[in-house]
Amino acid sequence: MENRPYTYPREEKLKSRTRIDLLFTEGKSVSKYPLRLVYVPQPEEGAIMQMGVSVSKKYFKKATDRNYFKRVLRETYRHHKHILTESTDKPYAMMFLYQTKDRLSFEEINTKTIQLFEKFAAQENL
């Protein structure tokens, strides 16, 4: 996996309903407006980093708009996940949320993603 740094394979996608529920009940959070990262350590041995993305229906009524921003979030994660993997040695389950009705450009979201991931790395390495 380390030789393919810019991928987002199926096993990295967070799909487990119980793990997602655990994230929102026990998870910690780090924010960089308008993005938020909710995370919880993975309990199993040998688990890998898992990431889910979410865009609120409250802000974007049309599914096409939500899907666009989810695509952008997945793409920015794919390009900058090395910040997360290099900052910690334990695996996490994470949810990456877009929380505004403002329509930011890809470049703005990309910049905010880098800042958010660096903030997570700093917070976890206290």
Q: Could you tell me the CATH number of the domain that includes residue 17? A: 3.30.230.10
Under a CB-based contact definition with an 8 Å cutoff, are residues 96 and 52 in contact?
yes
Q: What strand order describes the sheet that includes 92-98?
A: 28-32, 35-41, 92-98, 50-55
pTM above threshold 0.85: yes
Instruction: Kindly state whether residue 5 falls inside one of the protein's structural domains.
Output: no
Question: Is residue 23 in some structural domain?
Answer: yes
Per the structure, the count of domains in the chain is 1
SS3 97: strand
pLDDT tens sequence across 63-108: 999 999 999 999 999 999 989 888 888 889 999 999 999 999 999 9
Residue range(s) defining the domain that contains residue 91: 10-119
Distance CA 78, CA 65 (A): 20
Assess if residue 3 is contained within a domain.
Answer: no
